Each structure stands twice: as structure tokens, then as C-alpha cells.
Amino acid sequence: MNRTIAAQLSNAGKEYKTGDTTLVALQPTTINFNKGEVTLIVGPSGSGKTTLLSLLGCVIYPTSGDVWLGDTCVSKLSENQQAELRLNHIGFVFQGFNLIAPLSSLENVMQPLLLKGVSRKTAKEKAMGILRTFGIEDRAGNLPKTLSGGQQQRVAVARALITNPELILCDEPTASLDHQSAIQVMKILQSLSRDNRAVIVVTHDMRLKNYADRIIYVIEGKISNNPIETEF
Ligand SMILES: Nc1ncnc2c1ncn2[C@@H]1O[C@H](COP(=O)(O)OP(=O)(O)OP(=O)(O)O)[C@@H](O)[C@H]1O
Ligand SMILES: [Mg+2]
């Protein structure tokens, strides 16, 4: 990967077609995200924040322009190549957690390591370690449905970080957390950014701005660097 720019949209936009209507979820956008920085993405509901994060996370393809991760034009890669890249370089905390229902917290967190070919023993040790960091090791054996929202959220964050990815994308990672736990997660994300990782966090919680190096505003599919006089 490129030394400073972790991810880049180059005129990348996303439209959704349903029937004969076209919805512009993200207007063509050019923007860089650097290693060593925490970027907050804020904006009203439906403005395109998850769409922007999903493009960077190789979860969806742009309908125009390109997405780059380091020196790789990821929007030209096949789905399998993108899956490989996600596994090796990207940690994604999904807005709805996306935990695997029949797997325990521990197994959910182990999963990316197992997919990478790490032994079960090592994966288990690492996963227990990160569950401990987030104060939920006592829930290691629980299925997601038996966890509180905040506990599920921490499992989702732990799973995203377990592979030590260069690009960390978090969609509302603190929405279900009390203030102290939210601060704990942001401190961990900030320290990872200082370790030359790019951290991009979608949030409605402006209290998190103390942990941000940069704030990007998204309004009606358009990105801006300027604060907007709106409460999100
Ligand atoms: N798969 C899809 N098909 C059609 N329209 C979609 C799809 N995904 C998102 N959209 C639309 O694109 C727009 C942007 O959605 P997006 O999920 O990016 O918003 P958001 O800023 O993350 O909102 P929220 O804060 O509520 O999570 C919305 O109008 C949404 O309805
Ligand atoms: Mg969203």
C-alpha cells in the first residue's frame, strides 16, 4: 500500500436504480483518506454516509469513477479479489453489526483469522485477548442474540480489528454504547491511527470529535469539509 494515502475516491459516485427512478446515493466525489488520521463522517440520515464507507470498504462497486486503496484500483477488481483484499487490509464495523448468529462472540471474532489460515489455537488466544481489551471476555461463549446492543457492538469492533488492518471503517461504532465505552472505543481507534492506520468513523455523536483529526460532512450525497449549522 501507498505510504500516506490509504484510500481514495476518484470521481466515484453511486446511484441506485429502482424501476424507472434513479436515486443518487453519492454524487461523484474525489477525496483522499490518509494513514495516521482519524476521520469522522457526519451527516443526516439517508445522506450517503454508509454508501461512502461501503465504497471504501469494497462492499459495493461505484456506478461512476474509481476507488483506490493504496496503489490498487479496487473498483476494477473481481468480487473474489475484493473479498481477498477486504480480508487482508480492511476492518469494517457494520451499522447493524452483521455478527454471525450461530457463532459465539469468540468464534465471531476468530473468524477473520481462521479465513486467513491462522490456527484455531492462535486465533482463539488472539480473540480472547481482544475481547478482554473491550471488557467482554466473560461473554466469549455467548451467541449474539444473548448479548446487549453495546456488547454486540464491541464484538463487532473486536472482529474488525483482530487482523490488524491498515484501513479501519466503522459505521456508527459507538451508537449503542454508553459514553465511557464510546470513549474507550475511540481511544483504541485513535491509537491504531497513530500506528499508521487510516481510521474512518461514521457517527451522529459529535462528542467523538475530540478524537478526530478531520471531519467530513455528507449532505444529500454531497461531501464537504465545511461545518454545517445542523444538529445531527
Ligand atoms: N441498496 C440500496 N438500494 C436502493 N437505495 C439505497 C440502497 N442503499 C442505500 N440506498 C439509498 O441511498 C441513500 C443513502 O443511503 P445511506 O445508507 O448511505 O445513508 P446514511 O447516511 O448511511 O443514513 P443513516 O444515517 O440512516 O445510516 C438513501 O436515500 C438510501 O435510501
Ligand atoms: Mg448509514
Residues 6+ apart with CB under 8 A from 4: 34, 35, 36
**Does residue 222 sit in helix, strand or coil?**
strand
Task: Could you list the beta-strand ranges (E) of 70-226.
Answer: 72-73, 90-93, 167-171, 198-202, 214-219, 222-224
Testing ligand 1's pocket by substitution, the residue of 22, 24, 42, 49 carrying the most ligand atoms inside 8 A of its CB is: 49
Local confidence band at 30 (pLDDT 50, 70, 90 cut-offs) = very high
How many structural domains are present in the chain? 1
| Within a domain: 49 | yes
Q: What pLDDT was estimated at residue 1? A: 47
| Within a domain: 144 | yes
Span 156-183, average pLDDT: 94
Angle between helices 120-133 and 149-161 (to 10 degrees): 130
| Within a domain: 185 | yes
Q: Is 82 in the pocket of ligand 1 (CB under 6 A)?
A: no
1 vs 205: which has the higher pLDDT: 205
| Within a domain: 232 | no
Local confidence band at 2 (pLDDT 50, 70, 90 cut-offs) = very low
Q: How far apart are the first and last CA of the chain?
A: 34
Q: Which amino acid is at 165?
A: P
Q: Is 46 in the pocket of ligand 1 (CB under 6 A)?
A: yes
Ligand 1 atom having least distance to the Cα of 221: 14
| Exposure class string for 14-41: b at 16+ Cβ within 10 A, else e | bbeeeeeeeebbbbbbeebbbbebbbbb
d(CA 2, CA 34): 10
Q: Is 14 in the pocket of ligand 1 (CB under 6 A)?
A: no
Span 126-141, average pLDDT: 97
Q: Is 180 in the pocket of ligand 1 (CB under 6 A)?
A: no
Closest residue CA from atom 2 of ligand 1: 16
Testing ligand 1's pocket by substitution, the residue of 9, 14, 16 carrying the most ligand atoms inside 8 A of its CB is: 16
d(CA 148, CA 162): 21
Domain housing 151: 5-224
Sheet holding 38-42, edge to edge: 90-93, 167-171, 198-202, 38-42, 214-219, 222-224
Local confidence band at 228 (pLDDT 50, 70, 90 cut-offs) = low
Span 116-126, average pLDDT: 98
| Within a domain: 9 | yes
Q: What percent of the chain has pLDDT over 90?
A: 90
Tell me, in angstroms, the distance from the centre of ligand 1 to residue 221's CA: 9
Local confidence band at 226 (pLDDT 50, 70, 90 cut-offs) = confident
Tell me, in angstroms, the distance from the centre of ligand 1 to residue 121's CA: 40
| Within a domain: 108 | yes
| Within a domain: 28 | yes
Q: Is 13 in the pocket of ligand 1 (CB under 6 A)?
A: no
Tell me, in angstroms, the distance from the centre of ligand 2 to residue 217's CA: 13
Q: What pLDDT was estimated at residue 114? A: 98
Domain harbouring 59, CATH code:
3.40.50.300
Instruction: Look up residue 144 and give its DSSP letter.
Output: G
d(CA 4, CA 60): 24
- pLDDT greater than 60 at residue 122: yes
Ligand 1 atom having least distance to the Cα of 218: 21
- pLDDT greater than 90 at residue 14: yes
- pLDDT greater than 80 at residue 231: no
| Within a domain: 231 | no
Tell me, in angstroms, the distance from the centre of ligand 2 to residue 176's CA: 14
